[in-house]
Structure 1
Amino acid sequence: MPRRNGIQAAAPADIEAPLRSRHDLHWLAMRLFRGIAALDHETVRQHGLTVLGYEVLVEIAGRPDRAQADLAATLGLGKTALGEVLGELEAAGFVCRHRDPGDRRMRIVRATDSGVAAMTAAAAQLQRNEDEMFFGISRADREVFFAVLQKVSAGPLKERTLSTLRNERLRRPRAG
């Protein structure tokens, strides 16, 4: 194989096999994530939501009358980011916010009937999407797949957020 700038180039045979097999976890997970993300985005958009708005609405509907600060902590969002999402949901009529009578500094969030209706309709379509994605895969294999995903996501990577990974990348010494 020819050298360029003193570096030996890889032979096509050296890189062909990995490209053909594509069995590495990162590639498979990213392919799955991108496909699901695109489909989820389109689905929730049809119901007047964003993916993050949908997730926030699901959390609110599951525990009504929550303090906005508690909601931010549960979702792992900053107060400003959550405030923006809640503003969008409130403008759409999907949530309402009011001051906590016990502590005027706190804001309480509740899903409206139209918010619950939009969330329920989006959830039904998301489930249909999932059923289509798993068409031809047995219920048993599907349950194993979900069980493994839950174990992996609850393992050592649970606390590793994207911002943590970005910070580590910034601290890494640069080569050369």
Structure 2
Amino acid sequence: MRILLKKYKSVIRFIVTFLVVYGILIFGYNLYLNLSDGSKYYPDYLTNLVADQTNLLINSMGFESKVMPHLKEPSMKIIINGKYVARVIEGCNGASVIILFLSFIFAFSGKLKTTILYGLAGSVVIYAFNLLRIVILSIGLYQYPWRRDILHTVIFPMFIYGTVFLLWMVWVNRFSKIKK
């Protein structure tokens, strides 16, 4: 058993570090969600911010859009040219994807400063791509409502997780301290 532990020490360290960082970040995020004041920013600040920024981008593309709180669930409705096309729920704000990204980066850490800077930069990239994903998805659902399933369940998850995967590959190949 000791030989196996020694042989797979780096794999075990990666898994343990990943799970610890992921657990801490998820715990913190859930604490944030439970303490969010839904009266000021509904359903929570980050989801509200993503919905508002989505609205600004859609309007800047020549569509008339607005966002409003959903009355029956904790989400924000996206309305384009008077048509309700999508909703932004807590899971759409990109936080869980960023947590997954950061957990991986810290599990394959490099120099502390590089790890922190790359984590911040990658989080901004993921946030921006997620925002673009929601904008394009909303416009796509407005113009091609019959493509709802493939847009929402295949193409756009592939878009955001593909971005995360590319960021991970850049990290592992350029910045992490793994032995090559």
Judge same fold: TM > 0.5, yes or no. Answer: no
Q: Compare CA radii of gyration and give the structure with the larger one.
A: 1
Q: Which has the higher helix share?
A: 2
Q: Larger RCO: Structure 1 or Structure 2 (Cα < 8 Å, ≥ 6 residues apart)?
A: 2
Calculate the TM-score normalised by the size of structure 2.
0.31
